[in-house]
């Protein structure tokens, strides 16, 4: 479903295409429990896409093991992810959302000292993602 036109749907339309857990996380800005997501320790060559609209978000070459309990990436595919200030829970964080459909992905943290080119950690909910092996991509 990846295209340049933003994906806009009503909550009832999203509920019809997403599982209850996907809706809670992607549309209501929820978080899955640490160390429970299927992509936390996932290692394969390919692309991680938005579970809501199919837009490619992250390449496996940017994924790293941060030990945080969620999939971690040091950079997104250019233009695929938007950043927003999130001041919930008494702290200021940077929320990341799918640029195409606005689905909540997680948060990005800077300056944690990981040996990555960007010194950023995109902490992403597995539920927000789908994965396509390198050999199965179009």
Q: Rounded mean pLDDT of 15-30?
A: 96
Domain that holds residue 20: 11-136
Per-residue model confidence (pLDDT) at position 6:
65
Give the total number of structural domains in the chain: 1
The first and second tokens of residue 94, run together, are 């940077």
pLDDT tens for 25-49 read 999 999 999 999 999 999 999 999 9
Whole-number Å distance between alpha carbons of 127 and 87: 22
Query: Left, alpha or beta for 74 (phi > 0: left; psi -120 to 50: alpha)?
Result: alpha
Asked whether residue 4 is assigned to any structural domain, the reply reads no
Asked whether residue 5 is assigned to any structural domain, the reply reads no
CATH of residue 129: 2.170.150.20
Nearest to 75 by CA among 25, 130, 119: 119
pLDDT tens for 67-120 read 999 999 999 999 999 999 988 878 889 999 999 999 999 999 999 999 999 999
- The yes-or-no verdict on residue 7 having pLDDT over 80 is no
Asked whether residue 58 is assigned to any structural domain, the reply reads yes
Asked whether residue 3 is assigned to any structural domain, the reply reads no
Residues, the chain: 138
Mention every residue, 6+ apart, whose C-beta is less than 8 A from residue 96: 76, 81, 82, 83, 84, 105, 106, 107, 108, 122, 124
Asked whether residue 6 is assigned to any structural domain, the reply reads no
Asked whether residue 44 is assigned to any structural domain, the reply reads yes
Asked whether residue 1 is assigned to any structural domain, the reply reads no
Asked whether residue 2 is assigned to any structural domain, the reply reads no
Distance in Å from the first CA to the final CA of the chain: 13
Per-residue model confidence (pLDDT) at position 90:
82
Helix (H) or strand (E) holding 81: strand 81-86
Per-residue model confidence (pLDDT) at position 135:
66
Residue 16 CB coordination number (10 Å)? 10
What residues act catalytically? 123
């Amino acid at each position: 479903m990846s295209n340049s036109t933003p994906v806009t749907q009503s909550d009832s339309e999203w509920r019809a295409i997403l599982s209850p857990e996907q809706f809670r996380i992607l549309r209501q800005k929820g978080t899955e429990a640490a160390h429970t997501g299927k992509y936390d320790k996932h290692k394969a060559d390919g692309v991680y896409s938005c579970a809501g609209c199919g837009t490619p978000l992250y390449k496996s070459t940017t994924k790293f093991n941060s030990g945080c309990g969620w999939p971690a990436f040091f950079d997104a595919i250019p233009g695929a992810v938007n950043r927003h200030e999130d001041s919930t829970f008494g702290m200021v964080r940077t929320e990341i959302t799918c640029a195409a459909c606005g689905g909540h992905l997680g948060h990005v943290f800077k300056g944690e000292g990981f040996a990555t080119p960007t010194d950023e950690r995109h902490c992403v909910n597995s539920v927000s993602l789908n994965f396509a092996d390198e050999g199965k991509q179009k």
